[in-house]
Structure 1
């Protein structure tokens, strides 16, 4: 690069494409902007047609108010909008769009053809804009409302087009956007097609609960809890899932502020804080949370895609959500994680036991762990402080490398809390997490059997699954990977699939929960095939592994240890959690103050 090059103003064509890149990231961004315009125009019927997953063509037709002939060319000018006029108007924005960037940004990187007619007008207007230049603008006969056809998407911006994913992936993103935008608008009916194929049909609904079940999946029907709360100048409404209904990611958490879908860490944290001690680790609820407040109580002009907001009083918003959810969930009996809370209180009530608990929590595995197996006891760790010394490191690491030994050679003492297997070896006690151990075993078996005819178990009664349109597209796109992993899935109607077989080594697993966790694991766009395959294996191993708090007999423990001896990486489960920890005799003696 020439460091002596003069500073120059970019040509309008280059500047417009740079600006468009902030608003239009992929085809789903186009769908979002045009849908929001349709909703702002008061549309009650919307038709969306996607070709090539939205990469080839997007057409959105609505029965909204339409645009007058004199305003049609102006609509494609940058920052041209009917929503605001002055800086003060930014404090009163109620519409979804207001920046005047959507149409010019789309037209800067695509070909846009729009036909629009206002209600009551005799004729409409047709305009064609490509690469920011108007190609045609003429009177035309057309239905009331607006129809916009976007084609040649990113043809003038090859650097963006080459990063687009497969058709099924992009189509899934478009369907997700449609669900997010239309979820709060029960009075809007919509149809989404791919040519002659119907992808999604959304009827008008009166009840928000029906809308949520319709768009997010019928499996939510019996697991929703209504949420209501008020605060000065604010109102909270919506539904959240019971603690016994969880997801493996945050994809089913939807937040709306004044009808606008937003991604906001404050709202997510407020919801998760309300679920604290009710959910297992790394589990998330499903929710649709709606916050209403005066427009001047927040700033919506934060992000070009209008996905972020800033609250004037964030603490009040956090308190409102936490209070509303806490009241809604207080009458629901928690399942997962409930036994831990009373136990934690008992530890806190007894200082001596609290010290032991903290010691166990902080204890680091000795250097033998690096070799992937428990190590025989070495010299006692030097300078072990007393429990009363404070929150510092309570134990020192061993320094001398040790020779590993086999799990099957350990003396089995029993099972603690139905989850941890207790073993003894000379000078050391070992605690083994039965779920983590079996999870690693299943994961390694799945990896070894990859492409080598993994034994599948046909279901006596195939499992029929209803899901959201985006999840259905992801499941269809991953059929080959699932078949490779021993899961046979076939489409079974609109947004419905049937599971015919699962790997035999998973035993009697919950097929519905298994598929849901797999979909959550591969939802991220841009994942290479190997990473998707790995995530599928991890979810399958976790779902098929021995569960916590399940009693095991001595023969089952022996079999588990033999299997663990026969695999690599036995020190950690596929999620990275430790399979076992060592508690040397010297440490136990320190706990009892014997040395």
Structure 2
């Protein structure tokens, strides 16, 4: 007997599932695409235990009769294409006929479906890829699919899933992307019975953006539009005042399909040019409508990667669309944009602040504001700092170079200190010291600063509330996906706490399965980085002297929390070699 054998159908399906169903979010994506292709206008998704216990999707699409329902679970069975030439004109999201068979092979699955003309629905139960029950049931036209105990028979796959809130965040992002791609569909996502994402029926694109990204992003939207004979680029980009610290705010759609393309994402980034700070990424929603024969969506089973026949033309058109929108837009920042919600009464905030200021200064002498200016002779800026902890280190300050580096000399060495990296490390150690002692000094805010989150970011905050409390950041729900910041650590002084909180959320979201201690360190590093002096900050002598005094006394001064060296020494002997004074 030969050694090569044809694999049983359930084994082949489980292997295929390794590419199609990578995690619960993959399952949600495939089922959601099927519902959209079925013409559904109202779709409800219910998730339990991050999709491991239950994924339920209800739609009011065309439904299936009993024959189609049974056949839909066969590998490569599809209603989307019939011949190879159909791949050149695909208009649907799905077409490979792999999803249902793959999902059914790694779960306990139930389908209830009914067409408008059928009197009763068909109910089919699957387990391990095999039909366990096929019967009639009562149901409205449309389809209900319930996926229970995902990966129950592939424990290795179950073991390598990320933390509960990471998987939930992935599901939220998946549903959000699909909801943004279709204006005429109502989507509702519930996680463990709680509403996570809602796109109501009839909501236009701006209303959807406002629902998940908040009023600030909605107010910053700039419309784009560029056209050729075969390509149409439309959508919205946000002004540079609204950015993220990663690419999670970039959405791209090709003929209504959610895609990822590093090259086209770079075209967007190039379009912003110098308007973005280093490390910041724009929030964009770009729709590419193209002749289906010019794009190949059959690159990978997930269908997220595509290949274009004329990618360079699309790159140029996207870059041009972004540049033109930014050139025509009003990019002036709103002074209240970072603090006030567009639906709140700004006058009431202004009055409250005015009253507080008046009370604060009510007993102050008018002479404080009318006395003549005080001036004096300028002194030599050079000064010397002696480290108490490291007696061997005696630093003489010479100056600040390019508003970035502090330069001095020490025992025959030229010393260059990166002011940002040094201050970042100082703040990191001070923050961690306060956290570990449980005595974080906090500053209560007169007016809570409102920070708007996406649904996934809101989930990250809720799952890491203990981290924020230990760090001295007091947050409270402020309606929708927003949080109000009631207090922050004294150590970060007057830095924009809202931006710091958002950066910490991004860091926690990226970390995923980190332990509480690791998450705390990452959050502290992010907060220190955002609160530290930046390159380009002009520091006076007192600020430099205070920074150096603190820096020379910390435990580990030779690397910042992100691994960069804050201090570099160049021996004078090396300098003399550079000038050929010594060989």
TM-score for the superposition, normalised by structure 2: 0.84
Q: CA deviation at 1:512?
A: 1.6
Q: CA deviation at 1:575?
A: 2.7
1:567-578 correspondence to structure 2 within 5 Å? 567-578=554-565
Match of 2:298 in 1: 301
Cα distance in 1 between the residues matched to 2:92 and 2:511: 29
1:270-299 CA deviation, whole Å, 9 max, x = no partner?
Answer: 122223333222221111111111111111
- Is residue 2:83 matched to residue 1:86? yes
Greater Cα shift, 467-476 or 236-245:
236-245
Q: CA deviation at 1:59?
A: 1.1
Match of 2:41 in 1: 44
- Is residue 2:486 matched to residue 1:500? yes
- Is residue 2:278 matched to residue 1:281? yes
Greater Cα shift, 419-428 or 527-536:
419-428
Cα distance in 2 between the residues matched to 1:85 and 1:524: 42
Q: CA deviation at 1:238?
A: 1.6
Q: CA deviation at 1:52?
A: 1.6
Give the 3-state SS of the residue equivalent to 2:444 in structure 1: strand
Match of 2:346 in 1: none
- Is residue 2:224 matched to residue 1:239? no
Give the 3-state SS of the residue equivalent to 1:432 in structure 2: strand
Cα distance in 2 between the residues matched to 1:108 and 1:333: 54
Give the 3-state SS of the residue equivalent to 1:537 in structure 2: helix
Cα distance in 2 between the residues matched to 1:552 and 1:508: 15
* Structure 1 unmatched runs, 5+: 337-373, 375-402
CA contact (8 A) 1:278 1:334 kept: no
Q: CA deviation at 1:493?
A: 4.2
1:273-329 CA deviation, whole Å, 9 max, x = no partner?
Answer: 223333222221111111111111111011111110011122112111112112222
1:222-371 correspondence to structure 2 within 5 Å? 222-331=219-328
- Is residue 2:475 matched to residue 1:489? yes
CA contact (8 A) 1:91 1:295 kept: yes
Cα distance in 2 between the residues matched to 1:513 and 1:220: 14
Cα distance in 2 between the residues matched to 1:332 and 1:202: 27
CA contact (8 A) 2:46 2:56 kept: yes
* Structure 2 unmatched runs, 5+: 334-384
Cα distance in 2 between the residues matched to 1:88 and 1:103: 24
Cα distance in 1 between the residues matched to 2:579 and 2:161: 62
- Is residue 2:163 matched to residue 1:163? no
| Closer, same or farther: CA 55–503 of 1 in aligned 2, 3 Å | same
Structure 1's consecutive aligned runs of 4 or more residues displaced over 4 angstroms after TM superposition are 331-336, 425-429, 581-595
- Is residue 2:516 matched to residue 1:519? no
Match of 2:547 in 1: 560
C-alpha RMSD over aligned residues: 2.7
| Closer, same or farther: CA 504–241 of 1 in aligned 2, 3 Å | same
| Closer, same or farther: CA 525–305 of 1 in aligned 2, 3 Å | farther
CA contact (8 A) 1:199 1:494 kept: no
The alignment of Structure 1 onto Structure 2 pairs a total of residues equal to 524
CA contact (8 A) 1:297 1:313 kept: yes
| Closer, same or farther: CA 52–565 of 1 in aligned 2, 3 Å | same
| Closer, same or farther: CA 425–195 of 1 in aligned 2, 3 Å | closer
Among candidates 454, 457, 460, match of residue 474 of structure 1:
460
CA contact (8 A) 1:169 1:477 kept: no
Greater Cα shift, 43-52 or 188-197:
188-197
CA contact (8 A) 2:46 2:193 kept: no
TM-score for the superposition, normalised by structure 1: 0.82
Among candidates 108, 116, 119, match of residue 122 of structure 1:
119
Match of 1:176 in 2: 173
Greater Cα shift, 202-211 or 258-267:
202-211
Match of 1:212 in 2: 209
| Closer, same or farther: CA 569–33 of 1 in aligned 2, 3 Å | same
Match of 2:524 in 1: 537
| Closer, same or farther: CA 545–525 of 1 in aligned 2, 3 Å | closer
Cα distance in 1 between the residues matched to 2:173 and 2:280: 21
CA contact (8 A) 1:413 1:423 kept: yes
Among candidates 449, 452, 456, match of residue 434 of structure 2:
449
- Is residue 2:407 matched to residue 1:422? yes
CA contact (8 A) 1:212 1:288 kept: no
- Is residue 2:175 matched to residue 1:187? no
Cα distance in 2 between the residues matched to 1:587 and 1:223: 52
